[in-house]
Amino acid sequence: MGRSRIEDKAYTEPHSIVEVASKTLSSYPHLVSVTAVHDEKEKSIELIYTFSDFRGALKNISTRIPEDKKTLPSIASVAPAASIYEQEVSELFGVAFDGNPFTGKRVLLPDCFPNDVHPLLRNVKQEDLEKVVAGCMLGEPQIYVTGSSRYSAESVILLPFGPYHPALKEPERFILVLEGETIVDVIPKIGHVHRGIEKIAEGRTFLQDLFLVERICGICSFIHSWTFTLAVEELLNVKPSKKAEYLRTMIAELERIHSHVLWIGLLGYWTGFESMFMWIWRLREKIMSLLDLLTGNRVHKSFIAFGGVRRDVTDEKLNTVAKTIAEFEKDYKKLIDEIMSYEPLVERIKGIGMYNAEHAIRLGAVGPMIRATGIPYDIRKVEPYGAYDEIDFNVVTGKGGDVFNVTMVRIKEVLESINIIRQCIEKMPRNENPVPKTLVIGVVKEGEAVARTEAPRGELFYYVKAANSRNPHRVKIRTPTLANILLAADMLKGYTLSDVPVIITSIDPCFSCMDRALVVDKNHNSVFFVDFNKLRKENKRIR
Amino acid sequence: MALIFEWIERKLIARIQWRVGPLLTGFKGVLQPFYDFAKLLLKEEVEIEGMNTYLADFSIILYVLSSVLGLLFIPLFVSTSLYSFNEDFIVVPLTFALSAVAQTLMGLSIQSSFTVVGTGRLVVQYAMYESLLLITLALPFMQCNTLSMSDIVKVQSRYPILLVQPLGFVVALIALLAKLEKPPFDLPHAKQEIAAGWMTEYCCRRLAFIQLGKDLEMVYGVALITTVFLGGGQGPMTYDFPWLYPIYFIVKMIIVLLLLVILQGMAVRVREVFMPQRLWERGIIMLVIQAFILFILKDVGLI
Amino acid sequence: MTRLTMLKEVLKSLFSKPSTEPLAEVEKGVFSPYSRGCPVLIPEKCTGCSLCAMNCPSNAITMKIVGEKNVGGKTLPVRRPEFNYFKCIYCGLCAQVCQFNAIEMRRDLVILRPRSKC
């Protein structure tokens, strides 16, 4: 579970997709993703709409459009969440969706990118893309501050929030339309860190991709590689040993703690309570050192392998983990109790950014955002993967959507994760070898597989297609932030400027995970891309 | 002096947050603020399109000078300052107004969206803290029936006014935080919301002097509170050994600074809409109570 | 009341030792005791199969021709992997895929030394 091979796709004609989608939505209310796959032999593009209900059933609807006539109706009218997924497909594959609210705007690719190049089509070479990007960057720098001409009245202030902004960890731009201190409208522009990972993944072997997808995110790196592994193991028909499953679960939960604690600390930063930020991050250091102890690295763990994990963990280390986790729990409970009863802080987050469950489902929210409204939608429970089916844990839910409830959900999830780690250590079979005999997997047989996991930020979705080759034919990644971004932009309206950082970041945004798809590396132009060695030499000279 | 105070503040804040603070330059990093200042001076000045250079430079000079002007009238080394005259308390509102005007002009000499929002917040905040701070400072002078700084120091040779006006002291500390734009009242340059607010577009030499001006403002504010509420450098044995006066003064200033830092350490930035509630609703009630107590005590003849 | 607890926490923090790790430890530039370390070739064991170069996730290994050998009358180039430590992500995959254990992960080497004081 948590993964499945796609065998029962429901084929529909492109023109009837809206009808079918609205029929499916009544029983499968959550749109997981819209995946496009280009088939250069048949000269067609296949679009797979993945729907899910809140009990773990998946439904794939597929449709095919020819390469030379790439239009089809948009389903954004029945499923608003689809608008951003469809926009991603339309920019990367050149498919036109009639009736998509984003049509005509650039959301993912840079504004200077030529209109007729679509990076993810199979016949576009990676080298050509590099030239295109370098060329467009050499042109006139374009600066868009105003964003929209709709707001030209004097009473309105357009405040650019990003791309570089002290409140955001990563570059992303929201243009806030202010009337006094109140926000009237928000214009998001994502995609400042598109790195073309989906494209690069097609040009590398499965084993190399495992390390590539891990680098999508610096915070939830392990869960990315795990989800990719789940999909590939499904294609290979491999099952990892019990101990490996437990170890993976344990690392993922440690990572969840570190991610949530990081977020809670940053909440202090965003509300202007910097002591809390430092105090909580001090606690997080313990978890980081545990990750270092278990995997050898603090951030990019490189711990997982197809069919197991890459290094065994001794009993001695497990005991250290148990001890440190107990210490952490004590400190954490004490500090959080003090902080969450501190009136000035609670006042800042309670009742801010209100939304309801229905709204969240329509906009496709996932993870703590949707659990805060009381819907127990947690992939670990509804579709157990790893060792979660043998572990006893609760799904934390809140009482209604606002920043305070989202915070409480995250705080309680940390305690739940501690509980899971304890059980993992207890139940783990001790005398097994979790390391597979060989790491190299070679050619993978034809097939498609999807995998879903519960990343710290919510449901993470991978689609992997193999076509009898060493490289994957297509890797589609839908990160939780992309699913939550529409909700975040919507939540802002009507609140004041002081609440912006708290609301935007309440989804625990990981913008760099969200944008993956443009190649900006290589030194085609020395003005922009300087070789590291050269930089180092120059640095020496200056010193 | 101002830069050393910045170092003390940074060090204390760091300790509250379990950090070590400035460490490398000089003994325990004491030279770090000097280093920062010098480094900013050496940077190439960036002229931003649409910036009114003359206005910016003028307002920065005004900003730095306003605090220096205020410091001249505070008895720092002996109980009478060199420039003091009989009614020198009226200089205090003047310096406050000057520094606020300078900050506003600095914000408005480039009109980008951040500076406009930041300056708007600054003006609102000024309107709120100024009345509070002036009333709290005026109460001690009322108590002593004088308008002169040196007189108020002399009056306090027996006991500091703090013992009579504790509420006034607390309100003064909070209003001072608002004046210095420190947390929780750092709205005009709340970095998570509007980048650096009114000083977003400044860099290099101008930024260096803005920082210097801020430090001077802090020293001035702390010195003022020390003089008015804690009796300046008065203390045991200052009559016999006049050289003890500045030492007591500095020690008292550091204590006030420590209190400010602790308030900062537990501060959550207020939302703009709660600003009047925080400052006025609570502050003014406390001041009214304080004034009542003061008048009753005066009527009874205790002081 | 809650303010008082917070005040207590602030005071407690103010008078306890900072938890920053001193810079001196970092300056030694050694790897953490649990890290995978840094790949180093043991030339005697290497057969030049280039399995490591093919699987390296960051393409940090290039096979370099170091000499020639004579096998059954034919001269074949002898290849040895060369590591680019700036590209390397220190994941240790090369050591794990090597069939002959010719790559050793060593923790005692200093490859990139962090810059000392400013």
Tens of pLDDT, residue by residue over A61-98, are 888 888 888 888 888 888 888 888 888 888 888 888 88
Identify the pLDDT of residue C22: 61
* Separation between Cα atoms, residue A313 and residue A321, nearest integer Å: 11
CATH of domain A233-484: 1.10.645.10
Q: State mean pLDDT over A367-388.
A: 84
pLDDT of A519: 32
Confidence tier at A511 by pLDDT (50, 70, 90): low
CA distance B262 to chain A (A): 10
Is A327 within 8 Å of chain C by CB?
no
A295, containing H or E segment: helix A274-295
All partners of chain B with 3 or more CB pairs under 8 angstroms: A, C
Q: Give yes or no for A279 touching C (CB within 8 A).
A: yes
Tell me the shortest Cα–Cα distance from A456 to chain C, in angstroms: 24
Please report the pLDDT score of residue C110 as a whole number: 59
Nearest of A427, A479, A426, A436 to residue A456 by alpha carbon: A479
What 3-state DSSP class applies to A425?
helix
Residue B115 pLDDT > 70, yes or no?
Answer: yes
* Amino acid A512: pLDDT: 60
Residue A517, pLDDT score? 38
Q: Which residues on B lie below 8 Å from A500 (Cβ)?
A: 193
Per cent of chain B over pLDDT 90 is 0
Q: Per the CB < 8 Å rule, is B267 touching A270?
A: no
Q: Cα separation of A476 and A448, whole Å?
A: 11
From the number of C-beta atoms within 10 Å of its C-beta (0-12, 13-18, 19+), residue A8 rates as exposed
What are the residues whose beta carbons fall under 8 Å from the beta carbon of A503, sequence distance 6 or more? A352, A353, A403, A488, A491, A492, A495
Give the model confidence (pLDDT) of B159-212 as tens digits. 777 777 777 788 888 888 888 877 777 777 776 666 777 777 777 788 888 888
- Whether residues C3 and A205 touch (CB distance < 8 A) is answered with no
Query: B265, A275: Cβ pair inside 8 Å?
Result: yes
Side chain identity, residue A240: P
Which range among A202-216, C6-20, C96-110 shows the weakest confidence by mean pLDDT?
C6-20
**pLDDT at res. A185:** 72
Nearest CA to CA, how far is B45 from chain C (Å)? 23
> Cβ(B182)–Cβ(B29) under 8 Å?
no
pLDDT of residue A71: 83
What confidence score (pLDDT) does residue A536 get? 42
Rounded CA gap, A252 and A456, in Å?
A: 9
The C-alpha of C48 sits at a distance from chain A's nearest C-alpha, in angstroms, of 17
Amino acid letter at A346?
A: V
Phi and psi for B108 in degrees, rounded to 5? -90, -5
- What pLDDT does A523 receive? 32
pLDDT of C27: 52
Tokens read off for A89: 């497909």
Least confident of A455-459, B299-303, C65-69: B299-303
**Which residue ranges make up each domain of chain A?**
1-105, 233-484
Q: Is the peptide bond before A344 cis (omega within 30 degrees of 0)?
A: no
List the structure tokens of A90: 């339309």
Q: Tell me how crowded residue A323 is: count the other CB atoms within 10 A of its CB.
A: 10
Determine whether the interchain pair B192/A270 forms a contact, defined as Cβ–Cβ distance below 8 Å: yes
Nearest to A116 by CA among A107, A130, A102, A129: A129
Q: How far is CA A263 from CA A88, A367, A405, A474, A507, in A?
A: 27, 14, 14, 32, 10
Which residues have CB under 8 Å from A129's CB, separation 6+? Answer: A117, A119, A196, A199, A518, A519
pLDDT confidence tier of residue B38, bands split at 50, 70 and 90: confident
Question: What pLDDT is attached to residue B191?
Answer: 67
Instruction: Decide if B187 and A345 are in contact by the 8 Å CB cutoff.
Output: no
Classify residue A461 by its DSSP letter: E
User: Which is higher by pLDDT, A2 or A489?
Assistant: A489
A160 compared with A211, residue with greater pLDDT: A211
CATH superfamily entry for domain A1-105: NADH:ubiquinone oxidoreductase Nqo5 subunit (3.30.460.80)
Confirm if A307 and A207 have CB atoms less than 8 A apart: no
pLDDT tens per residue, range A394-406: 888 888 778 888 8
Cβ distance of B262 and C19 shorter than 8 Å = no
DSSP code of residue C29: -
Stretch A127-142: mean pLDDT = 64
How sure is the predictor about A490, in pLDDT bands with cuts at 50, 70 and 90?
Answer: confident
Q: Which residue of B has its CA nearest to C6?
A: B266
List the domains of chain C with CATH numbers: 29-106 (3.30.70.3270)
User: What's the mean pLDDT when you consider all of chain A?
Assistant: 77
Structure confidence at residue A507 (pLDDT): 67
What is the pLDDT at residue B219?
A: 87
Contact, A457 vs A259, CB < 8 A?
Answer: yes
- A291, A338, A346, A535: best to mutate for the C interface, most C CBs within 10 A: A338
Contact between A302 and C51 using a beta-carbon 8 Å cutoff: no
A497 to B191: CB separation less than 8 angstroms, yes or no = no
Asked if the model's pLDDT at residue C30 lies above 60, the reply is: no
Instruction: Tell me how far CA of residue A310 lies from CA of A295, A437, B185, B247, in angstroms.
Output: 9, 10, 51, 64
Percent of chain A past pLDDT 90, that is, above it, reads 0
Taking the CA of residue B254 and the nearest CA in chain A, the distance in Å comes to 21
Predicted local distance difference test score (pLDDT) of residue C90: 81
Region A421-444: mean pLDDT is 82
Indicate yes or no: CB of B192 within 8 angstroms of CB of A166.
yes
Exposed (0-12), middle (13-18) or buried (19+): which is A29, by Cβ within 10 Å? middle
Q: Are A262 and A281 in contact (CB under 8 A)?
A: yes
Beta bridge partners of A51: A31, A59
Q: Which residue has the higher pLDDT, A381 or B17?
A: A381
> When comparing pLDDT for B173 and A179, which is higher?
B173
Predicted pLDDT of residue A518? 33
Interface test with C, best of A310, A312, A316, A337 (most C CBs within 10 A): A310
Q: How far apart are CA B47 and CA B24, in angstroms?
A: 32
Is the pLDDT at A537 greater than 60? The verdict is no
Q: Are A54 and A29 in contact (CB under 8 A)?
A: yes
Question: Closest by alpha carbon to A381, among A369, A394, A370, A372?
Answer: A394
For residues A400 and A119, the answer to whether their CB atoms sit within 8 Å is no
Nearest CA distance, C107 vs chain B (angstrom): 29
Percent of chain B with pLDDT over 70: 88
Is A531 an interface residue toward B (CB < 8 Å)? no
C89 touches chain A (CB under 8 A): yes
